Amino acid sequence: MMITGKTTLAGIIGFPIAHSLSPVMHNAAFAELGLDWNFVPFPVHPDRLAEAVAGLSALGVAGFNVTIPHKVAVMPLLDEVSDEARLIGAVNTVVVREGRLTGHNTDGIGLVAALREKLSFSPAGRSVLVVGAGGAGRSAVASLALSGATRVEIANRSVEKASDLCLSLAPRLPGCSLGAVSLERLADPGYLAGFDLLVNTTSVGMKDDSLPGLSLAGLKEGFAVYDMVYAPPVTPLMKEAARHGIASANGLGMLVAQGEAAFYLWTGVRPPKGCMERALTAYHSLGKP
């Protein structure tokens, strides 16, 4: 695609940024739709975040994604933040319109879309065990509860962090019963049997490591596993699920779905179905990380 005087720019800020797959996904969708848009990675040092955000707005960028370490720090720099992003406590997508900056969070929408598309799972009325209580855990708990899950428990290595997350979210999610447990509970099949879905939001699995003690033996039919890890594509948790005949999916679907939702917020157009996922798969098959 040729950049012209009319090209609209979007991008992503983070530090570091070289590993980001968002440029691959968004530029593929712009090209497939024939939109005169371009998506650029911007390495923004934390000390220069405020300058960068003001600069992007001044330069007429239509919107940008926000990634580590800026997802929380960017919030006070925006004119408006959506209710869901405020609940999640982080922004991953900013829309710029007439100089006004609005923050959104599409990670939660991405998780729920990936559960539907990859596992035919709807959170409404279901019980979910979320492993991890960091930023990804928080967005998972909030989006599952907003999508109608009636019970969400958070298992975390540091149980205090899981309890803090419950205390902070519970008053704002009245329709959902929240609880916190230590990671050791994952070794108790009787405990796991009370849930319909397990979501791993930690980085465990990226280095071929496993959640300690976890066994998925003897769970009820229909139990599903979602692992936010996507490299390796078949994670240790997915292998454990397969051993027991349990359906599972990796985090690629969520990565794609959060990107699709951001694309729609910026352009008002849905990216062609499968386009972003195909672009990522093609990029990986070139041997890129």
H/E element holding 117? helix 107-119
Q: Which stretch binds ligand ATR (CB under 6 A): 152-160, 168-176, 185-193, 236-244?
A: 152-160
Q: How far is it, in rounded angstroms, from Cα 149 to Cα 123? A: 5
CB of 286 to ligand ATR, least distance (A): 26
Q: Which stretch binds ligand ATR (CB under 6 A): 5-13, 59-67, 134-142, 241-249?
A: 134-142
Closer by beta carbon to ligand ATR, 134 or else 272: 134
Residues 6 or more apart from 197 whose CB is under 8 A from it? 115, 119, 121, 123, 126, 127, 128, 129, 223, 224, 225, 226
Residue 11 in 3-state DSSP?
strand
Residues 6 or more apart from 252 whose CB is under 8 A from it? 230, 233, 277, 280
Selecting among 71, 161, 220, 239, the annotated active-site residue is 71
258 binds ligand ATR (CB under 6 A): no
288 is catalytic: no
Closer by beta carbon to ligand ATR, 57 or else 201: 201
156 binds ligand ATR (CB under 6 A): yes
User: Which residue lies nearest ligand ATR, judged by its C-beta?
Assistant: 134
Closer by beta carbon to ligand ATR, 199 or else 216: 199
Counting beta carbons within 10 angstroms of the beta carbon of residue 242, is it exposed (0 to 12), middle (13 to 18) or buried (19 or more)? middle
> Which 8-state DSSP code applies to residue 219?
P
Summarize as ranges the residues that interact with ligand ATR (CB under 6 A): 132-137, 156-158, 161, 201-204
**Which amino acids are annotated catalytic?**
71
